[in-house]
Amino acid sequence: MSSNQSTEITPEIADEKLSEALSTINNYITQVIRQMINARTKLVTASEKILDLLNSSLGIMSYNIRLGQVYDPFVRVEQSGVPHLDLQKPRMQLSYQGEKMTLSLPNEQSIEVPSVPQFEFTPVEPSVVLDEISIETLRRNVYFKFPIDAPVDEDPDMTNAYNKFYISTYSSSEITRYTYESPVQGKAFIVEGGIFLCDKFIVESRDILGRVLHSNGEEFQVYLGVYKGKLYGTLQAPVGNYPDSTYDSVLLIFTVINYTGECSCLFFGKEIVKGPPAGEDTNEWLKFVLWYQTRNVPIFVTLN
């Protein structure tokens, strides 16, 4: 013979169980809030250390602040003597002769446009080609620019009201290895993780794009060297210094030979102006520009 026994839940027992449950929940909430506060405190401490490092490393330098542009306008902070270049997508202008069609506008007006099949042209985004850049990509995005009245004998490939443009007609690529020191040695760049103090730049491959032109019958050359490689130096980070560090980058060298007039090179829509003479009693002019990325943002820095 058996009997079923049951425990009666009284109001007092129910209150006690509810109080225990609420107490347990409050303890968990307290622990979570405490951990969140500790995490935020650590983030603030890390930010303070980064700012202290920047202040101690760059406090003796002077800066220029201006409105710059990387696709959209933003404020740039520049070290005196090492200005940053603004980066824009390439701008192109076409000249058309042929049949036209009427294009209606939303304001009930209309314009005449070339009668051609619809197409889309998307310039290469410089922010994503640092590791993938090829000689064909370069050839589509490098132009040599002269004033419209410059004494260049050859007809330009493109013109506008102010300038004429020439594409490169020769190019070369090779895997090579050698070192540049003078353009980058002693320079400091803000990169992801801290400040990079440069000792040298070691080339791993190079692409050359150029054009042979004539001025009043005299031959001259313009070409752009795109040297892919690594910066070598010391990374100053909040947690300490790391000597023998490397940073992927590209050294751009715009060279003009035997032409004394004004000219420049357009690289992905960014203008690299003619540089100073390479030395005394020379007919060669050089401009050095460093191109690197930090947090997927392309940075162009003039070196001379």
Number of H helices, E strands in the chain: 2, 17
Residue matched to tokens 């983030």:
43
Separation between Cα atoms, residue 249 and residue 256, nearest integer Å = 23
Q: Which of 111, 208, 95 is nearest to 158 (CA)?
A: 95
Separation between Cα atoms, residue 143 and residue 210, nearest integer Å = 9
From the CA atom positions of the chain, what is the Rg in Å? 31
274 and 284 Cβ atoms separated by less than 8 Å:
no
- Give the bridge partners for 66, in sequence order: 76
pLDDT at 24: 83
pTM of the predicted structure, to 2 decimals:
0.59
- Residue 74 sits at φ, ψ, to 5 deg, of -155, 165
The DSSP-derived string for 57-74 is: HHTTS-EEEEEEEESEEE
DSSP structural state of residue 87 = B
Taking the alpha carbons at both ends of the chain, their separation in whole angstroms is 104
pLDDT at 77: 65
Q: Which of 62, 64, 105 is nearest to 83 (CA)?
A: 64
- Residue 45 sits at φ, ψ, to 5 deg, of -65, -45
Separation between Cα atoms, residue 236 and residue 131, nearest integer Å = 24
pLDDT at 69: 60
- Give the bridge partners for 143, in sequence order: 167, 266
Say whether 293 sits in a helix, a strand or coil: strand
Spell out the per-residue pLDDT of the chain, length 304, in tens. Answer: 444 455 677 777 777 777 887 788 878 888 888 888 888 888 778 777 777 776 676 656 666 656 666 555 666 666 666 676 666 666 666 676 777 777 777 777 887 777 655 544 455 555 455 556 777 778 888 999 999 999 999 999 988 878 999 998 888 888 889 898 888 988 888 888 889 999 999 999 899 999 999 999 999 999 999 999 999 999 998 888 899 899 888 999 999 999 999 999 998 888 999 999 998 888 999 999 998 887 777 788 899 8
Q: Across the chain, where does the E strand assignment appear?
A: 63-70, 72-79, 84-85, 100-104, 110-114, 142-147, 158-159, 163-167, 170-180, 188-191, 194-215, 218-237, 240-257, 264-267, 270-273, 284-294, 297-302
- Residue 66 sits at φ, ψ, to 5 deg, of -145, 170
pLDDT at 2: 44
**CA distances, 4 to each of 8, 9, 31, 164, 190 (Å):** 13, 16, 43, 102, 78
- The residue type of 15 is D
**CA distances, 281 to each of 18, 62, 213, 285 (Å):** 94, 34, 22, 11
- The residue type of 207 is D
The 10 Å Cβ neighbour count of residue 292 is 20
